[in-house]
Chains A and B, each alone.
Chain A
Amino acid sequence: MRKCYFDHVATNPLHPDALDAMMPYFKEEFGNPLSIYEYGTSAKKAIEDAREKVAGLVNAKPAEIIFTASGAEANNFALRGIALAKQNEGNHVIVSRMEHHSILNSARFLEKSGFVVTYLSVDKNGFVDPDAVKKAITKETVLISVTHASSEVGTIEPIKEIVKVAKEHNIIVHTDAVATTGNIPVDVKDLGVDLLSMAAHQFYGPKGAGALFIKQGLRIVPLIYGGIQETGRRAGTENVPAIVGMGKAAEIAKRELHERMAYLRPLRDSIIDKMAEVKNVFLTGDRDKRLPGHVSFCVEFIEGEAMLLLLAAKGIFSASGSACSSKALKASPVLLSMGVSAGLAQGSIVFSLGTGNNSEDIDYLLEEFPAVIKRLRDISPFSQGWGDREEGGECTVKK
């Protein structure tokens, strides 16, 4: 059976060249980068080479890149580190409702620690309005964090415009660029951000490696205290193989970025165009300002996890933001914040393409997906419409 991996927002396969670059650091080059003899110096050099490559991918200086173990850690570091460093200047933080859990839950932690957090709503296409950012700013605001793109709906946010608003008030801006780095051009100078998070496995690097760009001169409080690794801002013996793999993946991504985008966009668009012909299937997120390989729908009258499982049985691997497919059993906050009704949000499905996909994969998806939709609609009591149950008000079922 054909296997089509369409869940690149979950993770990407490791680029073979990145694996090759990593292998020596699992084996003979096992040294601790802090050691002053040759095992250490070669490991240290490998990390600094990787830092240069990661910096090159986002147009930063190498000294502005701090390696972390994940994108989530970079996000935690940015929010908590800046809020704590700035707590004597103000106690207000602004985030959007489109953010990843690592931002939202860090924001909730800050609230428990005495900060006030504004959660910005988005429009029906998932855009954060720079004017809404402007209105949310108070004299207490010390940090604004808005994602560069949501992995759930693929919408690319107007970060430059948000930075412009923030800089009128001299406020620090962080963006979670985990979904965008290595997938679209990401340039910290052009965006104007002060901090930017990334994760290697989102651009064919290994899991266990992420990074936070911290603009030169910016003071941040560490998350992890200990040794002097990462100039004292992130203690702990470095994950040398993963960092080397991230560097290699960054180098390849920089070289192939435009080629990858040009390859993925037509594949993405063919899914969007073809599925527009199926009744009551709605694209979520913006049609144009979206990630090159990202397609997301809400399919009315059926539920996402059921779709996902039937597709998986056909060798098609996707994601869903429906309540049932989440461990928390809650409908996607991203979709709800975009004004999607709770019933419709249950029909969420996300296909995220990668360089390993080809047009035959898309043809196969376009053959199987409408069949799965029909099969589930034949089982659904709502195939003729939601009736009086669409907004049934309260959820009476105990979870």
Chain B
Amino acid sequence: MYSEKVMDHFTNPRNVGDMEDADGVGIEGNPTCGDTMKIYIKVKDNHIVDAKFKTFGCGSAIAVSSMVTEMVKGKTLEEALAISKETVADALGGLPPQKMHCSNLGADALRKAIEDYKSRQNR
């Protein structure tokens, strides 16, 4: 059902955990739907220097979270905002069609974390 990459990121997720001193936090989804992702980012000189996640959801939701946190590290905020559901799914070697929308919340959670960071800067 899942690609090898999805299974790898699901069974050995990278960057799991909370981040006490995060510069931005984004949450997407709710448990009624099945999946919820919480992404933390640490930002320095317009670059995402660290990312962590906590996710409630199925195998693909956890794999997506893990992949997104890997993808954003070292990227500028602009580059990070260009990450989409499609680029995440591609990096994972594809997702089953029925999982493309409901479990693929990583890019949305990331965008919210970046928005949170920006709103903190404007305060």
In the complex, what residues of B have CB within 8 A of residue A323's CB?
A: 33-34, 102
Q: What per-residue 1/0 map shows which CB atoms of B92-123 lie under 8 Å from chain A?
A: 00000011011101000000000000000000
Interface bin, chain B: 20 to 34
In the complex, what residues of A have CB within 8 A of residue B69's CB?
A: none
Q: Of B2, B55, B58, which one neighbours A322 at CB under 8 angstroms?
A: B58
Verify A382–B35 contact, CB threshold 8 A. no
CA distance A380 to B101 in the complex (A): 20
In the complex, what residues of A have CB within 8 A of residue B10's CB?
A: 306, 309
Interface residues of B (CB under 8 A from A): 2, 7, 10-11, 13, 16, 27, 29-38, 54-62, 98-99, 101-103, 105
Q: Interface segment, A68-76, A114-122, A143-151, A324-332?
A: A324-332
Given the known interface contacts A329-B98, A378-B16, A381-B54, the answer about A324 and B36 at a Cβ–Cβ threshold of 8 Å is no
Question: Does residue A113 face the partner (Cβ distance < 8 Å to B)?
Answer: no
Given the known interface contacts A303-B57, A379-B16, the answer about A397 and B11 at a Cβ–Cβ threshold of 8 Å is no
In the complex, what residues of A have CB within 8 A of residue B33's CB?
A: 323, 392, 395-397, 399
Verify A343–B102 contact, CB threshold 8 A. no
Main secondary structure of the interface of B (DSSP, over half): mixed
Verify B57–A306 contact, CB threshold 8 A. yes
Verify B34–A322 contact, CB threshold 8 A. yes
Verify A310–B56 contact, CB threshold 8 A. no
CA distance A290 to B73 in the complex (A): 51
Given the known interface contacts A303-B57, A381-B55, the answer about A399 and B101 at a Cβ–Cβ threshold of 8 Å is yes
Q: Interface segment, A28-36, A77-85, A231-239, A383-391?
A: A383-391
Given the known interface contacts A380-B54, A399-B102, the answer about A329 and B34 at a Cβ–Cβ threshold of 8 Å is yes
User: Which of B56, B59, B103, B105 is the most central at the interface, judged by chain A CB atoms within 10 Å of its CB?
Assistant: B56
Q: Separation in Å of the B10 CB from the closest CB of chain A?
A: 7
Between A and B, 23 residue pairs with Cβ closer than 8 Å are: A301-B56, A303-B34, A303-B56, A306-B61, A309-B7, A323-B34, A324-B60, A324-B99, A325-B58, A329-B98, A331-B34, A343-B32, A346-B31, A379-B13, A380-B54, A382-B31, A392-B33, A393-B32, A396-B30, A397-B33, A397-B35, A398-B102, A399-B102
Q: Separation in Å of the A255 CB from the closest CB of chain B?
A: 39
Closest residue of chain B to A382 (Cβ to Cβ) is B56
Q: Of A327, A379, A396, which one neighbours B62 at CB under 8 angstroms?
A: A379
Given the known interface contacts A329-B34, A329-B102, A399-B102, the answer about A324 and B56 at a Cβ–Cβ threshold of 8 Å is no
Interface bin, chain A: 35 or more
Verify B56–A313 contact, CB threshold 8 A. no
Verify B36–A389 contact, CB threshold 8 A. yes
Verify B58–A305 contact, CB threshold 8 A. yes
Q: What per-residue 1/0 map shows which CB atoms of A329-366 lie under 8 Å from chain B?
A: 10100000000001100100000000000000000000
In the complex, what residues of B have CB within 8 A of residue A393's CB?
A: 32
User: Which of A303, A329, A399 is the most central at the interface, judged by chain B CB atoms within 10 Å of its CB?
Assistant: A303
Q: Separation in Å of the A84 CB from the closest CB of chain B?
A: 35
Given the known interface contacts A322-B58, A397-B101, the answer about A390 and B31 at a Cβ–Cβ threshold of 8 Å is yes
Verify A397–B56 contact, CB threshold 8 A. no
Closest residue of chain B to A388 (Cβ to Cβ) is B30
CA distance A322 to B30 in the complex (A): 14
Verify B59–A309 contact, CB threshold 8 A. yes
In the complex, what residues of B have CB within 8 A of residue A242's CB?
A: none
Verify A379–B54 contact, CB threshold 8 A. yes
CA distance A329 to B103 in the complex (A): 10
Given the known interface contacts A303-B57, A325-B58, A329-B98, the answer about A381 and B103 at a Cβ–Cβ threshold of 8 Å is no
In the complex, what residues of A have CB within 8 A of residue B13's CB?
A: 379
In the complex, what residues of A have CB within 8 A of residue B27's CB?
A: 381
